[in-house]
Amino acid sequence: MSQQKLPVGWTPEKIREVIDHHENQTGKEAVAELESAFTEGRGYRTMHIPIEVENQVLQIIDAAEDARRSLKESQTPVIAESRKPYRH
């Protein structure tokens, strides 16, 4: 049987610290940590909304994504392709 290798930078002490951290978290702290990991630096936020407004919220999100996509496409420079083959 081969010996298990740790990822670069990880030590048994670091693993113990991570385990201790998670074992000593409250439920609210664990949820907050997961939410921040999911949304951090990505421009998104996790939130609860009433089910009865879900469709309206999804429509707003779709419209915002379409507008963002259109803006990005309009800012992308178009490189014209030559229709004639290049010759020396």
> Stretch 6-15: mean pLDDT, rounded?
91
> Stretch 15-26: mean pLDDT, rounded?
94
pTM of the model: 0.41
- The span from the CA of 87 to the CA of 84, in Å, is 9
- On the CB side of 70, CA atoms within 13 Å amount to 6
Q: How high is the pLDDT of residue 72? A: 81
Which has the higher per-residue pLDDT, 83 or 64? Answer: 64
Q: How high is the pLDDT of residue 68? A: 86
Instruction: Kindly tell me if the per-residue pLDDT of 85 is higher than 80.
Output: no
How many distinct helices (H) and strands (E) make up the chain? 3, 0
- What residues have CB less than 8 Å from 25, skipping those under 6 apart? 33
| Rounded alpha-carbon distances, angstroms, from residue 24 to 15, 18, 20, 35 | 14, 10, 6, 18
24-73 pLDDT, tens digit per residue, is 999 999 988 887 877 766 677 777 899 999 999 999 999 998 998 888 88
